[in-house]
Chains A and B, each alone.
Chain A
């Protein structure tokens, strides 16, 4: 694997250098030819449609397009061709009939061939001498394919460049043509976000279907026992744990964030705002792994220590767990405060001053105006802010990975350790794993639940915000 990548990277760099050279040459030639148009007999400068630079750019485009195409073909087909050539040259072992198994064996064989090939290139002794012919085939195939790429790229690139050059004339609209190319690139860039969504959908959905084929999906959603080691995958304790921690977080971030926003937008002086806003921004800029560290190594022990002290002195029996849901939830709540407050700040500021003036005009105090006029008017916005905050809390990973537990306890006691969806995704996927075992697939199924739950929340929340904005625009 590493071998193909290593030498592949070198090949790729050589080809990219070739491409760059082609671009520069085509550009210079095209530009020169474009500039020469001005000197034609009976032609005024204003009659030449496009600037030389656009002729250059367009010629370069003609030259580089076939080279990119060749590269795309090479990257998608060359590894496969080399692989099949190498495997067919390998000594035939007993044929395993079961397809899944055969695939794995083939994969292992291929890896060995690649290793041998790289050892061969370095002139070191092979660990599996029986693979020498296959390794040699592999190396030749690879270098042949690479030469083919260089040749094809060079020839077609040059042909494209010449074609582009010959088109250049006084009336050729190279600027318009190149602007269309640019527009194409712009459109392609703006579809990346859509492709990302499709990629996410495809990956979680596909693996989840695989999972559903191996494990009853209903008992995954409703089972009360989560024990991956024994392949008992009832995710209810995870959902409950996620909800518990989210509830704790929101019950802190909600009121604190909202009151902070109210104070900042309605009461605070400019000078106070200048100090307080950066504080909230600092809080928003702290990476979650830092909060996780703080939760796991400071807050959780603090809670446990306090709980044990209470147990000891007052004779209570709290039995605070060392990875209590309360610690993780509390820290997560603090993390979300700036998120809630900045969203709420926006919606509160969007409430027209005229509404407030109406209330003040009647002799209402500030707090009465806020409670009876501003907040009801901003309610949809605040609700959507809370929904986005919930979605954020549900999807938060590092704090819970570091500070919440691993065991799927089905409990509502915040002093106990619980586990969450994100913790289990991380636990199931990090480390060595086979890709199609039910355990790894379960992680994707959890990802599926997480993605669709947060997506639904976000969509509803964003729609509310949009409606709300339109109302006051």
Chain B
């Protein structure tokens, strides 16, 4: 086994103290150490990965558990909500509550009159579910109609993200000098006594440098593409490359320049100035002087002293985010008025799916999963246990039972998506069972986990010592009585452990459910196994695919909830195993 130097030394005694032997030994121990380190590294890698994965998901999920909303005084007028003067529940449910909310929000921005502006304010900042709170309050007490009522108004996902700081970096500071403005609306210029805008100017220039580098990269890519392009497209591409090079040069020049002023555009941060009760968006910026357009009209054009006006920088360029500077200004105004509050979001647990991230919850997926698991468990537990009992206790040892055994082991390793194909071809298309239903999902998952349950149940049955069986048989119990009265109850903890682990596996399974159509967008929370439904992991898959940024947090939150369920199940299995572990 060891090195050849030690082997042929038959003629005399081997000197293990010679320097050569010592060196060799040291080398062997070094190898040993390295080998051991590899093993430790492997486990460390796995542990680190889990840590990375879980913390990544937790960090992503945290925002989903809070939401921002406005607290407003709203007046639910009869013509808005009580059609025909009726105040019964059904009529009120049909009322135009969102209009009531819009009336309330509109009070703060009387200047917003044009159609596009109104849409940007009402449709993009206020959730379409914003009327629910006032609706429920008024339904509980219809006498409130026509009176001012304080109610919570849910913000849209984008507005929520803005307040969570996930839309853009946000940096607000007081202006340092005495500053004058040239007007109260449209385009104005601002002049400060000191170099108040120097920091912003520097920031804009560094943004330009970054933009220049990205443009450079794009130019390189285009030039590479030039090598493989078909001849007739070559000219167009060359022109594009040249244009790109021009853009790079321009950006670099602007980024490097010193002093003077700079224009703000699509690839620079936005700089807003809050002054005299209004907001100005800067379009050009110098060290002491800037000019811009008014987003919210100023009350006066008087000078503002240091500390009485603020410079607000939104670090993500306007073109790269979903909320415009105008919308950010509106939101900031509402926040400055003290209307915005942050609360714990419980909706994720209590509502079904929705196209609007702020309204979407996992209840539908959870109910679908529960129904699916119900079907799975009620099928695979009895079938699995019975099959295991037959194979372990009653089956004669012959080729047929051998075949069944090989088959079960192989089935356990068949990819899950293939079970989905089975469900699609057999259950849906041949037996015409209801598509997207927990019934079919449960059936497919039952077949999927059946081998696992059979294998673990057989192991549990095998672990019951034969002496118990013999004792019962010796008393004149039939073989079945011996099994059902004595062996099975003793094997039950082991069987249940295996079943829980199998069910945990089924709960996380996604691919076969996609095949049988449990991927539809379903608003309703399902209540029976033949209704269309989705399942929690499928919900995760669906959400992860959606473009809205807010869904990313919802997805991570749904994952977190799924993982909690799985940990509980696995924990229960481990506890069960520990509690009932029996040494014979």
Contacts and interface: CB of A to CB of B under 8 A. Distances in A.
Interface of A: 1-2, 5-6, 9, 79, 175-176, 179, 182-183, 185-187, 189-194, 196-197, 199-200, 202-204, 206-207, 255-260, 262-264, 266-267, 276, 279-283, 285-294, 296-298, 308, 311-312, 315, 317, 319, 334, 337-338, 359, 362-373, 388, 391-392, 394-398, 401-402, 422, 425-426, 429-430, 435, 443-444, 447, 450-451, 454-455, 458-459, 462
Contact of B417 (A176, A182, A395, A459): A395
Contact of A287 (B36, B409, B562): B562
B1 A372 contact: yes
Interface of B, secondary structure class, is helix
Contacts of B556: 293
Contacts of B414: 200, 395, 451, 454-455, 458
B32 A190 contact: no
Given A189-B390, A282-B50, A194 B404 contact: yes
A231 B250 CA distance: 47
A364 B450 CA distance: 46
Contact of A458 (B47, B389, B410, B544): B410
B480 A182 contact: yes
A255 B383 CA distance: 38
B114 to A, nearest CB: 38
A189 B383 contact: yes
A9 B451 contact: no
A311 B411 contact: no
B540 A444 contact: no
Contact of B49 (A334, A388, A430): A334
Nearest to B569: A285
Nearest to A207: B425
A393 to B, nearest CB: 10
Nearest to A180: B480
A192 B447 CA distance: 8
B39 interface: yes
Interface stretch (B165-173, B290-298, B333-341, B505-513): B505-513
Given A364-B1, A422-B417, A294 B57 contact: yes
B508 A289 contact: yes
A359 B1 CA distance: 7
B40 interface: yes
B43 A260 contact: yes
Contacts of A255: 42
21 contacts: A5-B434, A6-B530, A176-B478, A185-B386, A190-B454, A193-B454, A194-B403, A196-B411, A200-B422, A203-B421, A279-B50, A286-B566, A288-B511, A289-B538, A289-B559, A290-B559, A297-B60, A368-B1, A368-B32, A371-B35, A397-B415
Nearest to B16: A363
Interface of B: 1-2, 28-29, 31-32, 35-36, 38-43, 45-47, 49-50, 53, 56-57, 60, 213-214, 216-217, 220-221, 224, 382-384, 386-387, 389-391, 394-395, 403-404, 406-411, 413-419, 421-422, 424-426, 429, 432, 434, 447, 450-451, 454, 478, 480, 504-505, 507-511, 514-515, 517, 519, 528, 530, 537-538, 540-541, 544-545, 552, 555-556, 559, 562-563, 566-567, 570
A54 to B, nearest CB: 10
Contacts of B559: 289-290, 293
B544 A296 contact: yes
A289 B541 contact: yes
A263 B504 contact: no
